[in-house]
């Protein structure tokens, strides 16, 4: 894997946990293993790694659950956002691409653990695109915007998490 010197930040949905990485690896991928499916609540986990020494937690700390003797998974205890997959002795932490402030920066380069890939995975790019929420549900989009508790996609000096200051 090639190391890329870059500045990356991200965090959970509520803003209680934030991270920064000063380098990333070129291993962006979709993991279809059953553990990643369960951990992400999805049909795959989109992951990209930061070298452990390049990753710092800038607000809060993730909760960690050992999904096996070799792997721990991090998430926000406040909002439940899955944040990472960490093979304990690998020297890198695979961050959930969706938790990055700019998830567009790391398009997947591979599918892994495909023995558990759902049979219809290859059909998803052909699904109908029904457009933006604002175009198909303006009232719903306005109500969500008015009551939105989601942390913005950038670092903040302070943030209130569910009515609690950090």
pLDDT of residue 61: 97
Q: Is 165 domain-assigned?
A: no
Q: Is 79 domain-assigned?
A: yes
Q: Is 126 domain-assigned?
A: no
What is the distance between the alpha carbons of residues 21 and 35, in angstroms, rounded to a whole number?
25
Report the CATH number that the domain containing residue 105 is assigned in CATH.
Answer: 2.170.150.70
Distances from the Cα of 49 to the Cαs of 8, 46, 93, 96, in angstroms?
A: 11, 11, 5, 9
Nearest CA-CA partner of 101 in 5, 8, 166, 6: 8
Q: Is 104 domain-assigned?
A: yes
Q: Is 158 domain-assigned?
A: no
Q: How many domains does the chain divide into?
A: 1
- Residue pLDDT, tens place only, 19-59: 999 999 999 999 999 999 999 999 999 999 999 999 999 99
Q: Is 64 domain-assigned?
A: yes
Q: Is 142 domain-assigned?
A: yes
Residue range of the domain that includes 144: 3-119+131-151
* Cα 94 to the center of its chain, rounded Å: 9
Q: Is 157 domain-assigned?
A: no
pLDDT of residue 138: 75
Q: What is the mean pLDDT of each run of 10 residues along the chain (166 residues)?
A: 95 96 97 95 97 97 95 96 95 98 97 96 91 76 75 81 54
Q: Which residues pair with 104 in a beta bridge?
A: none
């Amino acid at each position: 894997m090639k190391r890329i010197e870059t500045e990356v930040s991200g965090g959970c949905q509520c803003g209680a946990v934030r991270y920064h990485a000063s380098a990333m690896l070129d291993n962006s991928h979709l993991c279809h293993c059953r553990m990643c499916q369960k951990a992400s609540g999805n049909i795959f986990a989109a992951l990209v790694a930061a070298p452990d020494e390049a990753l710092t937690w800038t607000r809060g700390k993730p909760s960690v659950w050992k999904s096996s003797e070799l792997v721990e998974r991090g998430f926000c205890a406040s909002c439940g956002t899955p944040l990472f997959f960490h093979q304990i002795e690998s020297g890198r932490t695979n961050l959930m691409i969706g938790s990055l402030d700019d998830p567009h920066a790391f398009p997947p380069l591979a599918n892994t653990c495909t023995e558990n890939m759902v049979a219809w995975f290859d059909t998803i790019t052909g699904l109908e695109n029904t457009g933006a929420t604002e175009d198909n549900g303006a009232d719903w989009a306005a109500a969500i915007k008015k009551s939105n508790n989601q942390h913005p996609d950038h670092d903040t000096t302070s943030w209130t998490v569910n009515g609690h200051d950090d």
